Structure 1
Amino acid sequence: MKTIKYIVSIIIFLAGLGQLLNNSITAAILFVLLGSLIFPSINELVKKKVKIFNKKSIRFGVYAILLIIGAASIDITEAKEKYQSNKKVLSSESEFDDYVKFAQIRIKNLSEKNKESRTKLLSELRKTKTYIALIDSSVVSAKYLPVLTALNDGVRNFRQDNGKETFGLKQNLVDNINKLKEGKDKLNFVIKTVMLLTESRGNALPKEIISIIKRYRKKYKIYGVPSNFYNTDGEVEGIDLPYDMTSLLVILEPSNKNYLNKLYEAHNEGVSKWNKENEFAKYKYSFVATKKGYNSHVKEVYPDSPYVLNVDYEISAINLYREYEANEIAADNKYKNKKLAVTGVVVEISEVYGEVTVDLSTGDELNLTTIKCSVKNKKKVAELRKGQNVTIIGICDGLTLNLYVGMEKCEI
Structure 2
Amino acid sequence: MTEVIDLGGYGDAFRTDPHPVYAELRARGPVHRVRPPGGTADHETWLVVGYEEARAALADPRLAKDPAKLGMTFLDEEHIGKYLLSVDPPDHTRLRSLVSRAFTARRVEQLRPRVQQITDELLDAMLPHGSGDLVESFAFPLPITVICELLGVPEMDRAAFREISTEVVAPSGADSEYDAVIRLAEYLTELIDDKRRAPGDDLLSDLIRTTAEDGDRLSPGELRGMAYLLLIAGHETTVNLIANGVHALLTHPDQLADLRADMGLLDGAVEEMLRWEGPVENATFRFAAEPLEIGGVPVAQGQSVLVGLTAADRDPKRYPDADRFDIRRDPRGHVAFGHGIHFCLGAPLARLEGRTAIRSLLERAPALAPDGPAGAWLPGMLIRGMRSLPVRW
Q: TM-score, normalised by structure 2?
A: 0.19
The structure richer in strand per residue is 1
TM-score, structure 1 normalization: 0.19
Q: Which one has the largest radius of gyration? A: 1
